[in-house]
Each structure stands twice: as structure tokens, then as C-alpha cells.
Amino acid sequence: MAPFNLETCARDYKDDGTNILLDANENAYGPSLASADVDTTRGVLGSLDPLGLHRYPDPHQRDLKQLLCDLRNTLAHTERTLTPDNLFVGVGSDEAVDALLRCFCVPGRDRILTCPPTYGMYSVAAQVNDVAIVSVPLLPAPDFALDVAAVSAALSDESSNIKITYLCSPGNPTGSLLAKADIQQILAHPTWNGIVVLDEAYIDFAPDDASLASLAAEYPNLVVLQTLSKAFGMAGIRLGAAFASPPVARLLNSLKAPYNISSPNSALAACALRDNGLAVMRRNRAHIVAQRERLLRELPTIDGVGRLRGGTESNFLLFEMLDAQGRPDTAIALSVYQRLAETQGVVVRFRGREHGCNGCLRITVGTEDEVTKFLDALRTQLAEVRGAGAVNGAVEENKERGANGVVA
């Protein structure tokens, strides 16, 4: 197990309002709020008095849950429909990640299974809850597919005490969708009695009907996590959801704080999930997809940028940085990451030490202007770093600045 480190947040570069933040997979085009829902003279949602701020918020949030069900009841994967009884809403999907561990794992005895490279919060939450981790890496890039045989074998080992399998689709940092058939094969494991958690934080950047959330109405051992932080551009309200079978949803709801979702946040989320808000989300998503396509065209034309590793079903891309011989180079990637932030105010994410991500940077898709500035800065900094011929190893170790942290 890695040494204990209190610095779990990767955004050490503070935003002074001028930095270009392409590190946390936020939506640079803003929240999914229609102009009719925002009164600029009186604040968001106009007067907040009708929200009853002198009262505690609704502890059940059934109206909000119904809007989430309406969004995902597409009948694309099952004829069964989700109801508010299938929902837990929390402070981001991270609350559900932690709550599931507390529900199903005995500290010091049980384990979870993860498939690196993957979202760092699973391991952080496991450490906090004294739960060990079994790692079964994804198959090699560029597909980063689920290694079904290896996962099944790990789950078949009764001595491993694996209670939860955390899967991420589209993956972070891979940007790749996991195959529905592979996930269903894990769900149908003949002997393992545990929970499969499918994290779909970036699902709205994938093709329509890609979400498997509705399958939570069919599989009692499936939990699907989603968030309004990404495509909906609502990272600031910290609103996430877990779709699950009613018994699992009841456990999660029993475990949470009584009033974990504030009235203003609930109202903002509801605005984003109604027709006007969905229209804004889809319009902003179209802008992001256009800039994603631009990055896919222009990044490979920069000398020193290597292959795309992973998929394109997200609002970020994972690209290699190369040495002078054309090989992926982790030291160069780290140096470029540092120089972009320190000298250009452009913050991306270093992923070069994660499994299968040698020499890689993860780049969030920003606005047209942000993408232009990033491409110019990368072209300059990459040329300078490669021209130097080497990167100081001491700098690499001492200046990583949270490169393995867990911001988004």
C-alpha cells in the first residue's frame, strides 16, 4: 500500500481567474440552466424565498429522483422502468462511492475490486474505510476493455472477500466505454455474491442510449452512478445519483445524513433536468464535441505528441508525449505538465504513472479559445522540453504537485 498522503486533491494550481483549467473534466461552457431560470438582477432562480430556506430540505427528494428516472427510462436496454425507489441522491457521486463501502464492506476484512487505470476516488474511499483493494487491470490500450476472464477469476476466489467491483464507463482516464455484454457477464457470475458498481459520470458524452442505468431495475446487484458535474456543468452544486435495486437504494438512503441535499441545490438540479435545462446541456455538449474533434485533428500534428490512448466517449482525451526517438516518455510528460501550469497558466492532468498510460497527459476539452491557447502552449513547451534532451529526475519527484490526486 502506498504511503499515507494527506494531499489527495490534484488542483494545487489555484485559479486566479486567468488560468485555463483543463484538468478536472469540468464543463467550461457553464451550467445547464436556461435564461428563464436565472434572474441576473436577483440571483440564480430569482428570489430564493419560495424555497423555504428557513426550513430543512426535503430528506427524500422524490421529485428530483423522478426527473432522473425520466432521463434514463429510455427502454433501450430493458422494458423495466426506474422509479424514485431505485434512487439515492448524494453530494456528488463520491458520496455513493463511500456509502457503498460502508454498507457492504467490513473494515479490515473485506476487499473491493478495481480495474486500473481508473478513477482514484475508489482507492481513496477504500483506504479511508480500511478496505483492501484487488486490482485487475483493463486490457491494453487503445481499447482498455474489461478483462472479463481475469475479473471473473478474482471474484471466484472466495478467500479474497471481494464485496464490491467498481467499474468506470466511460473510463477515467481512458475515455472508453465498457462493453455491455462484458458487464452483464460479471453481473451474472455464478458464485460471487457482491455488488457491481458502474460509474457513468461521463455517460452523456457517449452515444445516445449508452447509459445502462435502467438495468438497475433488472439486476439486483447493479448500482449505476451518475453526476450533474460533467455534461450538465453543475460541478459546483455537488449533485450525484446512484441507481440501484430498491433494497440497495433503501440501505444507501438509510445511511446518509438526513438532509444531505440542500434546497437550493435540489432546485438547481431540477432546473437542469427539465426540458429547458436539457436543451442547454445538449447545446453545450455539441460545443464540447466540436472542440473534442478539433483536438483529435490538431494534437497529432504537433511534433512530440504521440497516440491517442483510449476512447473519445468523454469530455477529455488521453494522449502520449514522446521523446526525441518517438517513444512515450513519462518524464517528458511530467515536465510538460508542470511547465504548462507554471509558465502558461494551462492546467492539464499528468497520468503517466498509471497502468497502461506511460507518458500520457489527460486533457479536458475546453472552449474554443481555451483549446487554441492550450494547443499553442503545448506546441511551445513540448518543443522546449524535448530540445533539452532530458528531464531532471529530482524535479520529477519533488514537483509532481498532486499528479496522482483524485480531482475528477
Q: Is residue 323 part of a domain?
A: yes
Calpha distance 384→307 (Å, rounded): 20
Which domain does 321 fall in, by range?
20-31+279-398
Write out the three cell numbers for 120: 482514484
Q: Is residue 327 part of a domain?
A: yes
- Check whether residue 229 and residue 87 sit in a common domain: yes
Q: Is residue 336 part of a domain?
A: yes
Burial status of residue 15 (CB atoms within 10 A of its CB: 0-12, 13-18, 19 or more) = exposed
- Check whether residue 73 and residue 27 sit in a common domain: no
Calpha distance 253→258 (Å, rounded): 9
- Check whether residue 138 and residue 254 sit in a common domain: yes
Q: Is residue 367 part of a domain?
A: yes
pTM of the predicted model over 0.85: yes
Q: What is the CATH number of the domain that holds 386?
A: 3.90.1150.10
- Check whether residue 290 and residue 367 sit in a common domain: yes
Q: Which of 273, 305, 327 is the last residue of a domain?
A: 273
Q: Is residue 3 part of a domain?
A: no
Instruction: Profile the chain (408 residues) by mean pLDDT over runs of 10 residues.
Output: 48 64 83 68 51 85 97 92 97 96 97 97 96 97 96 95 98 97 97 97 95 97 97 96 98 94 94 95 97 98 96 97 95 96 95 96 97 97 82 44 51
Write out the three cell numbers for 299: 494534437
Q: At what angle do helices 275-298 and 263-273 cross, to 10 degrees?
A: 70
Calpha distance 32→236 (Å, rounded): 12
- Check whether residue 265 and residue 306 sit in a common domain: no
Calpha distance 107→115 (Å, rounded): 21
The predicted structure's pLDDT at residue 277: 95
- Check whether residue 256 and residue 370 sit in a common domain: no
Q: Is residue 12 part of a domain?
A: no
- Check whether residue 246 and residue 300 sit in a common domain: no
Calpha distance 244→122 (Å, rounded): 18
The predicted structure's pLDDT at residue 213: 97
Alpha helices, DSSP H, located in 105-245: 121-128, 148-156, 180-187
- Check whether residue 27 and residue 68 sit in a common domain: no
Q: Which of 273, 294, 327 is the last residue of a domain?
A: 273
Q: What is the CATH number of the domain that holds 108?
A: 3.40.640.10
Cβ(50)–Cβ(210) below 8 Å: no
389 C-beta neighbours (distance < 10 Å), count: 8
